[in-house]
Chain A
Amino acid sequence: MANTKTDEKLQKIAKDLLESGEVSLVIGYAKGSNLQRMRPVFITKAEDAGKLSFNPHAVQDLAVFLKKPEVKKFGKIGIVVKGCDEKAVNALIQEYQISRDNIKIIGMECNGVIRQSLADKGETNLSESAVYDKCLICEEHIPVLYDFLIESEEPKLVLSGNVKPYSGIEKLESMSAEEKNAFWAKEFDKCIKCYACRQACPLCYCSRCIVEKNMPQWIDTNSEETGNAQWNLIRAYHLSGRCIGCGECERACPVNIPLMLINEKMAKDVYNMFGYKSGLDINAKPVFGVFSESDFNDFIK
């Protein structure tokens, strides 16, 4: 398939960065195993920059690779990011996992990415019903921080309002404890404890996950109702106030657990309680690194 203008700009930036030695690696997207799939690509030589491409099938959050030791070894890295993904870069900087000096951010203006499940069935058009819920509530079509910005050639998404993003949250909130319990018990029952949600998450960067700690074994290892619930709880808890909403956990989940219903709910509540949104400011203090004397206290007797 021919290069689009976007692709050309992207390739030029990557080529320049690599040629000038400003970075030794550019992480970007390339054409994938079929026309509706993109895949991550790791460009280390300027002459390979032609592989880079970007379109609404670029679903992956490439920031996930910044936590990989094999990738970290490259030192100075350029990375292609959509607005949502870029927030992960910011959060990683906030949490000292990467240094701003070592990263060149190639920001892509993005009007939405197409759900992979639909893309696999042939969907190629950006539409309200084709994109992920995160795209419908997106406030960062242009990344909040970038060194280069490439404007989108795609038309802006027209929202009719008929598709209600994350509507499951309100539905759940209105349920009784038992109904919620039944809902999640059914969802977690599917869990196979593959931890793909963790691996796909750019902010799950612990070198030893708490589930791998066995002295003590806080999280049951079994993949039955108890162990699954604990895992899903602790994953969500560790990401509360940190999750930037890229949705990679849910996309990676092979058994379709609606993890974003949890992540978004927690993001919403953390914002309501503490006025904090993750990944918007590299100089902001993470919500659980600070406190206020006037914090929400109603639930404490």
Chain B
Amino acid sequence: MENIYLPKLAEIKEIIQETADTKTIRLTIDGGSIDFLPGQFGEFSFIGEGESTFGFSSSPLRKEYFEFSFRSSGRATTGINSLNQGDKIAFRGPYGNYFDTSKMKGKDLVFVGGGIGMAPVKSIMEYCLDERDDYGKITILYGARSVGDLLYKGIFDEWKKYKNTEVIITVDPGGETPDWTGKVGFVPTVLEQLPLKGENSVAIVCGPPIMIKFALKSLEEKMGFDKSNIITTLENRMKCGLGKCGRCNVGSVYVCKDGPVFTAKELESLPNDF
């Protein structure tokens, strides 16, 4: 008999302060990563304070650790936030479906992330970068409310080093600092100005609902992306992650098991319950 609710303990290898209120935590189990696929998520907990659901933000190909990014807000995340390097985090997973890379191979890729929604995008994006030759042109568009709200600031340059890869970082108007050299503008607006074509391309979009809504519109209507080639992830409230607790239903879909990764086409068939 196996207790599906029983977590494993993972050690905190590194804590990266991303913004004033978000962090990325790198974990290891027995010195390495676990088997997961980009887009999947796990239940992370500071034991005693409860579990919290986060998507993985690292590439599974980077075997020395696995990571997630989070903002401290509730009881569980505040607990996690208080931990130090070397402390243990309880972890269950990986759960859910994943970005199907077989359908992305050989195509041009567009990664669009907004705010902390960049975390799952980063996972698949770095996965693709790690196997750079399998894909066509890669465009990365990442935006946040302000310069201070941008995650992963230290590694933008790393992304840029890959061949045939364009990295565009933008902040919402008013969120720029005097020394800001990136773009200023909302993500969907900046996206629209990019010379992208839907044909033979896959777009991966994740961020706040309003950003997703407009980004999908731009991709579909202005750039001609096919709905089945636009992929996003849903962030419903979850508890078990195992399709039991009844919380994450959207229509007939259990987001924790049938998702969290959906194509725009799949989303279209779901009722507005997320």
Direct touch of chains A and B (CB < 8 A): yes
Return A236 CB to nearest CB of chain B, in Å: 26
Range for the number of chain B residues in contact with chain A: under 10
When distances are taken between beta carbons in the complex, the residues of chain A under 8 Å from B50 are 214
Give the complex CA separation of A214 and B78 in angstroms.
Answer: 11
* A interface secondary structure, majority: loop
Chain A 125-169, CB within 8 Å of chain B: the 1/0 string? 000000000000000000000000000000000000000000000
Chain B 39-74, CB within 8 Å of chain A: the 1/0 string? 000000000001000000000000000000000001
Give the complex CA separation of A217 and B50 in angstroms.
Answer: 11
The residues in A between 203 and 222 inclusive whose CB is less than 8 angstroms from any CB of B are 214-215, 217
When distances are taken between beta carbons in the complex, the residues of chain A under 8 Å from B74 are 214-215
Q: Does B153 contact A (CB under 8 A)?
A: no
Q: Does B75 contact A (CB under 8 A)?
A: yes
A216 nearest in chain B by CB position? B75
Give the complex CA separation of A217 and B74 in angstroms.
Answer: 11
Give the complex CA separation of A112 and B88 in angstroms.
Answer: 62
Give the complex CA separation of A215 and B78 in angstroms.
Answer: 9
When distances are taken between beta carbons in the complex, the residues of chain A under 8 Å from B75 are 214-215, 217
Give the complex CA separation of A214 and B50 in angstroms.
Answer: 10
A214 nearest in chain B by CB position? B75
Give the complex CA separation of A66 and B29 in angstroms.
Answer: 53
When distances are taken between beta carbons in the complex, the residues of chain A under 8 Å from B78 are 215
Give the complex CA separation of A217 and B76 in angstroms.
Answer: 12
Return A215 CB to nearest CB of chain B, in Å: 5
Give the complex CA separation of A214 and B75 in angstroms.
Answer: 6
Chain A 208-240, CB within 8 Å of chain B: the 1/0 string? 000000110100000000000000000000000
Return A213 CB to nearest CB of chain B, in Å: 9
Give the complex CA separation of A98 and B242 in angstroms.
Answer: 43
B79 nearest in chain A by CB position? A215
When distances are taken between beta carbons in the complex, the residues of chain B under 8 Å from A215 are 74-75, 78
Chain A 94-124, CB within 8 Å of chain B: the 1/0 string? 0000000000000000000000000000000
When distances are taken between beta carbons in the complex, the residues of chain B under 8 Å from A217 are 75
Return A186 CB to nearest CB of chain B, in Å: 30
B50 nearest in chain A by CB position? A214
A217 nearest in chain B by CB position? B75
Chain B 66-107, CB within 8 Å of chain A: the 1/0 string? 000000001100100000000000000000000000000000
Return A160 CB to nearest CB of chain B, in Å: 51
A215 nearest in chain B by CB position? B75
B76 nearest in chain A by CB position? A214
Give the complex CA separation of A215 and B75 in angstroms.
Answer: 6
Give the complex CA separation of A215 and B74 in angstroms.
Answer: 7
Return A81 CB to nearest CB of chain B, in Å: 36
A221 nearest in chain B by CB position? B50
Give the complex CA separation of A217 and B79 in angstroms.
Answer: 13
Return B70 CB to nearest CB of chain A, in Å: 16
Give the complex CA separation of A217 and B75 in angstroms.
Answer: 9
Return B53 CB to nearest CB of chain A, in Å: 15
Give the complex CA separation of A267 and B106 in angstroms.
Answer: 75
Return B246 CB to nearest CB of chain A, in Å: 15
Give the complex CA separation of A214 and B74 in angstroms.
Answer: 8
Give the complex CA separation of A199 and B145 in angstroms.
Answer: 39
B78 nearest in chain A by CB position? A215
A213 nearest in chain B by CB position? B75
Return B103 CB to nearest CB of chain A, in Å: 41
Give the complex CA separation of A215 and B76 in angstroms.
Answer: 9
Interface pairs A-B: 3 shortest CB-CB: A214-B75, A215-B75, A215-B78
Interface residues of B (CB under 8 A from A): 50, 74-75, 78
7 contacts between A and B (CB under 8 A): A214-B50, A214-B74, A214-B75, A215-B74, A215-B75, A215-B78, A217-B75
